[in-house]
Amino acid sequence: MLIAGSLLALLCGVANSAAAAIEKRESVRAPGGAGLRLLSQLVRRGWWLVAMGLSVVGWVSEAAALALAPVSVVASLRSTGRGGLVLVGHRWLGERFTRRELTGVGLLAVGGLVVALSAGGNGPPELPLSNLVEVELAAAVVGLALILRLSRRGVVAGAAVGVLYAATGIYTKEIGDRVARLAWGAVPGLALSPGPWIMIGLSVWAIGVTQRAFRRANAASVSAASTTVSGLGLIFLSAVLYERRLTPLSLALPFGFGLLMSVAGALLLAVGSVDRDHTVGSTAVAAGRPGASNDGKTGGEAEASGPD
């Protein structure tokens, strides 16, 4: 079961990374707008719908993985693809990265992986969360996401998305666990519980915020902020909601070190990430000249001349 869950978590990570690259490409080419107006434009674009299909594959894989493997394993393996997003962002999307930004992405990736690998594993089967707890969880994450959304920075918007996805990860685990126990018999109970419907609402909101963030910042930076916050959030929420120890005492040192690396990466990403207008007509993305920028510099030249 652990091997199957690990493979499914890897599939989730690859599918989500591929979806992020395509979403970024389509969001910068879509006409102006934000929120539902932007989404109404994107749903008419075939490649964006392909990205949504990949996201569905990622979600199904995540639900199955969480039912088969410890949360910490899933949280670490579903983060695969971050490095690929940097390469794709530079070569295919024409994105520019500062040195601090690249360092921040790297620290977030390594720190998140260390935390996930040193976190506590599965214990006895968890009892399902009550409807009240599911609603309280939604209220808490919505409040935190709204606070983060006060900032107009692309990477901060990515962090807000991560907060929302941490909660959807809990709802996904609840769905996966119930289906694993009851198979099709779980459907009536799930339909009558608030969790799945809250998950859908939070997911739609997160998708809208993500598209807006992609129009301001690099896909790899937004995804690094989102994935790290969602992974760490999922681990912490699982420990609180299911009353599990965050990490065994023997792994407390690497766990704390990984947290410090993640915080350092987040700070570097916040300082080093430079918001730019990534939409059509503002960058070379739409013109099909990967690696070029507004002023005609290549990605490497722009990186050298950007803040570090």
Mind listing the pLDDT tens digit for each residue in 96-106?
A: 777 887 888 78
pLDDT of residue 108: 78
- Position with higher pLDDT, 164 vs 268: 164
pLDDT of 14 > 90? The answer is no
Mind listing the pLDDT tens digit for each residue in 222-243?
A: 888 888 888 889 888 988 898 7
In contact, 290 and 93? CB cutoff 8 Å: yes
pLDDT of 295 > 70? The answer is no
Least confident of 34-43, 173-182, 188-197, 268-277: 268-277
pTM score of the predicted model: 0.77
pLDDT of 168 > 50? The answer is yes
Q: What is the overall mean pLDDT for the chain?
A: 79
pLDDT of residue 53: 95
pLDDT of 291 > 60? The answer is no
pLDDT of residue 121: 60
